[in-house]
Each structure stands twice: as C-alpha cells, then as structure tokens.
Chains A and B, each alone.
Chain A
Amino acid sequence: MATETRTHALKAKEYKSDIAPVWCPGCGHFAVLSALTKALAYLELPKERVALVSGIGCSSRLPAYLDTYGFHGLHGRALAVATGLKAARPELTVVVAGGDGDGFSIGGNHFLHACRRNMDLTYIVMDNEVYGMTKGQASPTTAPEWSRSKLTPHGPGVRRFRPAAIALAAGASFIARGFAGDPSGLTRLIVQAIEHRGFSFLQVLSPCQTFRPEQTEWKQQVHPFDGEPAANDLEAAARIHADDGMALGLIYVEPLPVWQPLAQPSASLAEIEQELSL
C-alpha cells in the first residue's frame, strides 16, 4: 500500500523563501528546488536544522530560494565550507548544491576528498554539461564533440569527467543519478541521500534550455538502472562500467565508516599552552 498516515509539519512550499528564482524559464533547476523542498517536507526536517551550502553558478543560487540556513560560498569551495560546518555542527542536516563546473572542475579536488572522508553530507550536483552563468562554455562533463561554443568550435576534444566512476573510486558510500524531468523520482533520491549516513553523491541531469536546447531530448533518452543498487564497490564498478550516463536511480549504497571530528577538544587551551611553553 503506497499510502500511510503521516502528519507533515510543514508543506513543501513553506521551505521556499520569498525570493523568486532568476533561472531561465524551462531550466531544470526549478525541478531540483521543488524536489528538495518536497524531500525536506517529507522528512519533516525543521528549517533551523537544515543548512544548504553552495558554490558559484546558476545552480548555486539555490540557497537564496530556500527558507533554511544557507551559505553561498566561493567557486568550487562548497564542499570545503560544508565540511567545516558539519564538523562544527554535526546535528545539522547539511546539503551541498552546485553545478558540474563548480563541482567537478573548480572544486574537483574537494569532491575527491569529500568522497574519501565520507562525512554525513548530501551533495547534489545539477549537471547540465555547460557553464551556463558565463553564457555557455564546455564544462568537465561536456561531450568532446560539442561544438556550439565559439571557445571550442571543434568541441572540447577531451574525454568527459565521469562523476559516478570518480565518486566510487574516491570512496563515496552513496551514488545516485536523478533527472529534473522526473521530479517525483528525484524527490525520492534526495530523501534516500539525506537519510543515508555518510557522503551521498547525487548527480542530477538538469537541462539548460538556453545554452543546451538539445537537452530537451534527454527525457527520451533516460531510463532506469536495471536491478537493485550495488551493495559493494566491485558490483558498483561493474554497474557504472556498463552505464551509458543516462540511467537513473540509486547506483550504489554501502554503510562505510563516517568521519566526524570529536565535538569536544581533546585538550584545553591551558594544556596546549603549557605543552608549547618553553
């Protein structure tokens, strides 16, 4: 039976701020915002217990549109800020949001170590395979032959960054892919990602109608992953190896040790000073 009796403390729209998004009409990011608010409502998370951290880019505007705590950080540094926040305030639900350029290029190093560290963070990357805010340049996930940018008239000519494969290799314990054209499925993945204890990486295929209008075809190309999510890294590697990049769903989830610094210092300031004194 799909229904259950629950009393939601807040409705999804109550997690939205009064600020109107400036995204282009038709942008996939609207669906991510909607799915995120529905997920927060479903999980009945109090607003003051949620923090959304972002970097720079169209998708990184997201914290302004939520009525939770938010931090619009530096380009590529969202995971670094979020790591610090989670270390200091482990009781918060910390969600990190950004785009493919912010997360995989400028912030690529932070991405690797956030996966490896496996802190209890949820990282949502809205992947439209383009730098949209700066008007349409190739990003790390752009196909090598994409030639619509005058900066790369013959295409970037570089193999794509493969987010799921790299997340797995770097040690992430939850890897999933959603699609902005399937907001209900995306909501479910966000709920699963937040509920997972450890670093949850969720790649969202989020079309950019302005600079990648051909991405409207994605809704004909996406399809669900076959079978159950992988429960260990070997199975996950096989799954990701066979992936065409358009499969949706939970790819891999495994309970792995979560790193969380001690809430209390192991020595007092006086003890440290005494130790350092000559």
Chain B
Amino acid sequence: MNAPDHEPIVSIPELLAHALELETESRERYRDLAQCMALHNNPDVAALFEQMAGYSELHARSVEVRAQGYSLPAIAPWDFKWNCPEGRETPCLDDVHYLMNRRQALELARHNEIRGRDFYAGVAAFSPEPEVSALAREMADEEQEHVDLLAQWIARELAQLEVLLEDLDPPHIPE
C-alpha cells in the first residue's frame, strides 16, 4: 500500500468526521441517482439505489452513535484526506447511465465499498496513533463485509442481472 499524499489522520474525532462525511455524501448521491433513474423510467435500478441510500443512512447513524461524546471538527469539503475528488463511497457521476441494469448498479456499489475499505485500511496503516489505527481497522473490516455481501448478491442474481436494457426511442440528434 502506498503512503497517502496528505497528512495522516491523527485523532478519533477526525476519523469519525471523515466516516460521517463518507456515509452522508454516499447517501445523498445514491438518493440523487435513485430519483434520477426513476425519472428516466429505470425503476429497478432506482429501487436499488434507494436501497443503497438506506444502507448509507444506517451507516451514517452508526457513525453518529460512535461519535457521541466527541466534538467532531468541521472540515472544509476540499480538505478531507482522501485521494479522490469526493468521498470514497460516493459513486462517480459518469459511472452511471440511464440504461444501466441492476448488475451494473450492484457492481458500482461494490466498487464504492472497496474504495471505502481501502480508505480505512490506509488510515489504519499510516496513522501514527494506535487508537486511530485500531478503529480504522475495525471500519475496514466492516467495509469488507459489505464488499462480500455485495459479491454474494451479484452472484445470487447473476442470471437475471444479465438483462441489458434498451431504449426504443433514444435521445437523437435532430435532422
């Protein structure tokens, strides 16, 4: 694992602030995507993204429970210590398409969980504070559970997830 190109996370409140941002941003993006897919007549993927938003909401609440008794620092959006433009579990905008199917959506979700896991693993590996490393390791293990669950989900539904969507009236370039 390569060292991150920013300062390591050095306190429990700082780690929890990152965890909370990671989950709340992920929830917001999944919710946006769910609305968007519903508007574009892709109800299956809309329902899946809404489900993912629900999981992110649950995870955010569990972080809030963990954060009780701490005063979390407010971090400017551009100062979070992850090597990507947004939270590690936030789907990138250009990874989605209105014709994507459930399999693609699940693989996207799994990809995001892997990024989340790697973020916490990186914190665990490079934080100089043992208690931060320990909590980050615990969080990385939780993310790994999510990765495994999604992998099982994909395998379980593989046959029905192979269906490719089509649009009989696609956006077109006018004459």
Give chain A's interface residues, CB within 8 Å of chain B: 2-8, 12-13, 20-28, 30-31, 34-35, 38, 42, 134-137, 148-151, 180-185, 187-188, 207, 209-211, 216, 219
Contacts and interface: CB of A to CB of B under 8 A. Distances in A.
A180 B35 contact: no
B69 interface: no
Contacts, number: 109
Contacts of B32: 21, 30
A209 B97 contact: yes
B70 to A, nearest CB: 13
A158 to B, nearest CB: 18
Nearest to B98: A25
A20 B36 contact: yes
A34 B35 contact: no
Of the four ranges (under 10, 10 to 19, 20 to 34, 35 or more), the interface on chain B belongs to: 35 or more
A26 B96 contact: yes
Interface of B: 7, 14, 17, 28-29, 32-33, 35-40, 42, 71, 73-81, 85-86, 92-98, 100, 171-175
B35 A7 contact: no
Contact of A4 (B7, B73, B174): B73
Given A25-B98, A183-B85, A188-B77, A31 B39 contact: no
A19 B36 CA distance: 11
A44 B158 CA distance: 47
Contacts of A181: 85, 92-94
A135 B94 contact: no
B44 to A, nearest CB: 13
Contacts of A3: 14, 17, 73-75, 79
Contact of A182 (B75, B85, B172): B85
B85 A184 contact: yes
Contacts of B86: 183-184
A26 B85 contact: no
Contact of A209 (B73, B76, B81, B94): B94
Contacts of A185: 78, 85
A83 to B, nearest CB: 29
Given A20-B39, A38-B77, A151 B174 contact: yes
A219 B71 CA distance: 36
B36 A23 contact: yes
Given A148-B173, A181-B85, A187 B78 contact: yes
Given A31-B93, A150-B174, A25 B36 contact: yes
A10 B32 CA distance: 19
Contacts of A8: 74
Contacts of B77: 35, 38, 42, 183-184, 187-188
B39 A2 contact: no
B171 A210 contact: yes
B174 A135 contact: yes
B171 A211 contact: yes
Contacts of A134: 174
A219 to B, nearest CB: 7
B76 A25 contact: no
Contacts of A187: 77-78
Contacts of A148: 173
Given A13-B28, A25-B98, A150-B175, A2 B75 contact: yes
B78 A184 contact: yes
B74 A26 contact: no
B97 A26 contact: yes
A24 B173 contact: no
Contacts of A184: 77-78, 80, 85-86
A25 B96 CA distance: 6
B173 A136 contact: yes
Q: Which of A6, A22, A38, A184 has the most CB of B within 10 A?
A: A184
A25 B97 contact: yes
Nearest to B172: A135
B31 to A, nearest CB: 9
Contacts of B37: 25
A30 B75 CA distance: 22
B59 to A, nearest CB: 16
Given A13-B28, A25-B36, A7 B85 contact: no
Contacts of B171: 24, 135-136, 210-211
